[in-house]
Structure 1
Amino acid sequence: MSMVINTNMGAINAQRILDGTSREQTTSMERLTSGLRINKAADDAAGLAVVTGMKTQSIGTQMAIRNGNDSIGMIQTLDGATEEVVNMLQRMRELTIQSMNGTYNMDNRGQMQSEFTQLQKEIQRVADTTKFNGMNIMNASTFGSGVVSATFANTSAGAISIAASVSAAFRAHVGWEGGSANRIAVPLMNFSTLSAINAAIGIGNSAISTFGSAIAKASVALSVIDTGLSVIKNMRANWGALQNRLEYTVANLQNVDENINASRSRIEDTDFAKESANLARTQVLQQAGMSMLSQANQDAQQVMTLLR
């Protein structure tokens, strides 16, 4: 091997290897500091593209989960208010049955009518004031044609399906993408159209003078109330089914999001065991490289022994 001074190949080789070791050490420190294996596109170009798509889906899925839970909250609000309407209708029915008994005089029936009327007014007030996030959910003022009238015909399966299909209907968006497949329609009911809260329906007033007339009037009221209870029963069953559906939807979205993030983590996140071992390795190599560079620089001095 020739001995030269101008070109120190040993030092050049040591510098090249030290440079590579320093880059590896810097990368390991960057990954250990950030917790990410991919900190820039150059770290893993294809992996970055995959991770970006997964993040997009995960963020959208998490919002869809919130949408689903918010929609469940809206249905629960609606169902809770409807429960109170049912309780009031049951009390109105109870008063109607009571007024049919011959042991009560016309004044007694007038007193029953007073409570009956107050319950009618309260059902109307509940229908007008029950809102979710400022939107009326018990009348047609917010969702228009997506709200059905309180009749048997309008609460059949076919009529509910038609009401749910109109553009004005309430829809829960439960997907991370757009499109109708990611929306669940929730048809509502206009409680203001319940015949049971019509002011003309009653169980007794001063205009009634005979027991037979009182019985006839109470019988009409009883029929109207029973119809209202049946209509509400159909709608509540539909809302309950939709709430159960939304709960399954949310559970599925949570499962999808969990597995997407597990896959993303395997691509993007730092394996601390691997990187800490790599950092220790590069630190030792760097120290050894510095020692060899120093040794290579000293080798050139041996030429001086030939010139003595």
Structure 2
Amino acid sequence: MRINTNVSSLVAQEANKNTSNSISSSLEKLSTGYKINKASDDASGLSIADKLRTQANGLNQAVANGNSAVTLTQIADKAMAEQSNILDVVKQKLIQASTATTSAEGIEAIGKDIDKLLDQVNNIAKQTTYNGTSLLQAGAASSDSATALTFQMGTLAADTIATKAGVTANTSGLSIDVLQASAKTWTATADSAAGLQSAARLNLDEVDAALTKLNGWRADFGSTQNQLESSIRNLMTQVTNTKAAESVIRDVDYAQESANFNKQNIISQAGTYAISQANSTSQNVMRLLQ
């Protein structure tokens, strides 16, 4: 019987220390809700779960991009809808000016109305922006064509949706700047009523062509919006499935971990009792010395 090295006690202490570590790990999982809290818990699982989390975060941002893009297309569509309404009024006034029952003075007044209405078409083209980006022409100071707008709708570089280039929803782009210049010259003192009526009649086809062109641009924005909304729905489904896959790897099963914690607790108590018993056996040496 040896007393300098109590092997039984050392073995019991080692086992109890391992059990304490298991209890600490179990408590960490129960308190955080994750079964992987550090790389040592599951190195490969951590790598996979992190990739899935990154993918889910990227998909969420793509959904946000899509929602912003839908708002942008709606702004452009509503602006062009107002321009279309203006052109309808211009067409109505041209028809009014083209008939023999309208006097030269009346046609002069109509010309002034048309000039102001087409100015508003240009104002709408200048003012229609989203976060500083002009939507209906190149910019507030440029009446050139707007560039194509590209929206990032996924985690890969190729996951994009774009509008068509060439939108120029101003009088120049709609080819009605000549009509506006002509309307400014309609004066009762310089022209006969018949001459003014003929001049107004010549511009009817130009307004029809402008409306056709404008409706084509509206249709492009509308189809882009439908594409964006479809992409958003698909992305949201991907986010749900990706998070579910990450949860299987990273999240703790509380029922299973609670059972494991209770088991380790019982083993710890038994280990403490074992250490006590191992220490008490060395006291038997005293009986040999009596």
Common fold, TM-score beyond 0.5? yes
Is the contact between residue 37 and residue 269 of structure 1 (CA under 8 Å) also seen in structure 2? yes
Aligned counterparts, 1:243-262, within 5 A: 243-262=225-244
For 1:183-232, what per-residue CA distance to the aligned partner results, in whole angstroms no more than 9, with x for missing partners? 22212511232222443243943366334323321222211110000011
Q: Show the counterpart of 1:182.
A: 159
One-letter code aligned to 1:48: L
One-letter code aligned to 1:234: G
Match of 2:95 among 69, 94, 97: 97
Is the contact between residue 126 and residue 139 of structure 2 (CA under 8 Å) also seen in structure 1? no
Is the contact between residue 151 and residue 161 of structure 2 (CA under 8 Å) also seen in structure 1? yes
Match of 2:34 among 3, 27, 36: 36
1:190 counterpart SS class: coil
Match of 1:108 among 106, 109, 112: 106
In structure 1, stretches of 5+ residues that fail to align are 149-167
Match of 2:138 among 137, 140, 164: 140
CA distance in 2, matches of 1:268, 1:286: 27
1:147 counterpart SS class: coil
One-letter code aligned to 1:268: R
CA distance in 2, matches of 1:91, 1:24: 80
For 1:159-181, what per-residue CA distance to the aligned partner results, in whole angstroms no more than 9, with x for missing partners? xxxxxxxxx53211111122xx2
Match of 1:121 among 119, 122, 137: 119
Shift of 1:79: 0.6
Q: Show the counterpart of 1:169.
A: 148
One-letter code aligned to 2:154: G
Mapped pair 1:268 → 2:217? no
Aligned counterparts, 1:1-308, within 5 A: 3-141=1-139, 147=145, 169-178=148-157, 181-188=158-165, 189-192=167-170, 193-198=173-178, 199-202=180-183, 204-206=186-188, 209-308=191-290
CA distance in 2, matches of 1:223, 1:98: 15
For 1:58-98, what per-residue CA distance to the aligned partner results, in whole angstroms no more than 9, with x for missing partners? 12211111111111111111111101000100111111112
CA distance in 1, matches of 2:151, 2:73: 11
More displaced stretch, 223-232 vs 104-113: 104-113
Relative to structure 1, is the Cα distance of residues 125 and 289 closer, same or farther in structure 2, using a 3 angstrom cutoff? same
Q: Show the counterpart of 1:158.
A: none
CA distance in 2, matches of 1:209, 1:57: 71
Relative to structure 1, is the Cα distance of residues 14 and 116 closer, same or farther in structure 2, using a 3 angstrom cutoff? same
CA distance in 1, matches of 2:256, 2:182: 79
For 1:21-66, what per-residue CA distance to the aligned partner results, in whole angstroms no more than 9, with x for missing partners? 1011000111122222111110000001111211221122111111
One-letter code aligned to 1:185: A
In structure 2, stretches of 5+ residues that fail to align are none
More displaced stretch, 10-19 vs 196-205: 196-205
For 1:226-249, what per-residue CA distance to the aligned partner results, in whole angstroms no more than 9, with x for missing partners? 000001111111111111001111
Relative to structure 1, is the Cα distance of residues 19 and 95 closer, same or farther in structure 2, using a 3 angstrom cutoff? same
1:200 counterpart SS class: helix
CA root-mean-square deviation: 2.2
For 1:81-121, what per-residue CA distance to the aligned partner results, in whole angstroms no more than 9, with x for missing partners? 10100010011111111222322211122222222111011
Relative to structure 1, is the Cα distance of residues 49 and 191 closer, same or farther in structure 2, using a 3 angstrom cutoff? same
Is the contact between residue 107 and residue 197 of structure 2 (CA under 8 Å) also seen in structure 1? no
Is the contact between residue 174 and residue 214 of structure 2 (CA under 8 Å) also seen in structure 1? no
One-letter code aligned to 1:183: T
One-letter code aligned to 2:181: A
More displaced stretch, 201-210 vs 187-196: 201-210
Q: Show the counterpart of 1:159.
A: none
CA distance in 2, matches of 1:304, 1:62: 73
Aligned residue-pair number: 284
Shift of 1:5: 2.4
1:126 counterpart SS class: helix
Shift of 1:301: 1.1
